[in-house]
Amino acid sequence: MLKKTTLLLWASYSFLFANDKSLPDFSKALPNDTFEAKSGGKIVTNYHYHTNKTLDKLITDLTKFLGDGWPLENAAIEQVEQQKIINNNPDINHIIAFSHPDLPDFTIGATIFTNSDKVELHGSVHESLVTIVVVDMKAHEKSMRTE
């Protein structure tokens, strides 16, 4: 089983730029890292990467990708411990959040897993596995009303 060290990064928005109401291409969020795959459906989409970056460098790169107006918030230790229990994963070590007050329709998260099992991709073993998660909150709310 892959041991995981996890960082959750959340951000909310209804559109990313004033003239562009579409989401950015998250397969290009970490251009200097190895993009593995995109998965998911109408409500949740995941973008999987392999990287050797430190937590600080990943935060810097994601902040740069998202652009101005996204303040960073750190989760309390209690929230991190709760996520360890919910995910049955003792290796979660940090949770951060990015939010944008003018952009409430999507939630963006990033989870960083330590590659302790040395999973290989394209002939390389990276220190971390990263999943960026995009949640369409309107689609989620709609699905909850129809159930």
Tens digits of residue pLDDT in 12-44: 332 333 334 457 898 999 999 999 999 998 899
Domain count, the chain: 1
Name the one residue in this structure whose structure tokens are 């411990």: 81
Beta pairing class for 120-121 and 44-51:
unpaired
Pairing verdict, β 72-74 and 94-98: antiparallel
Cα dist from 87 to 4, 90, 91, 111, 125, whole Å: 10, 8, 10, 12, 24
Task: pLDDT tens for the chain, 147 residues: list them.
Answer: 333 433 333 333 323 333 344 578 989 999 999 999 999 988 999 999 999 988 889 889 988 998 887 777 777 778 777 877 888 877 676 776 676 676 678 777 777 777 777 878 888 898 888 888 888 888 888 888 876
Give a yes or no: residue 2 inside a domain. Answer: no
The Cα–Cα gap between 70 and 68 comes to: 6
- 25 lies in a domain? yes
Task: Tell me whether strands 7-13 and 34-40 are parallel, antiparallel or unpaired.
Answer: unpaired
Q: Does the residue 85 lie in any domain?
A: yes
pTM of the model: 0.74
DSSP state of 26: G
Residue 1 covered by a domain = no
Q: Which residue range is the domain that position 101 belongs to?
A: 7-146
Domain presence at residue 71 = yes
- Residues 96, 31: Cα–Cα separation, whole Å: 21
Q: Report yes or no on 92 lying in a domain.
A: yes
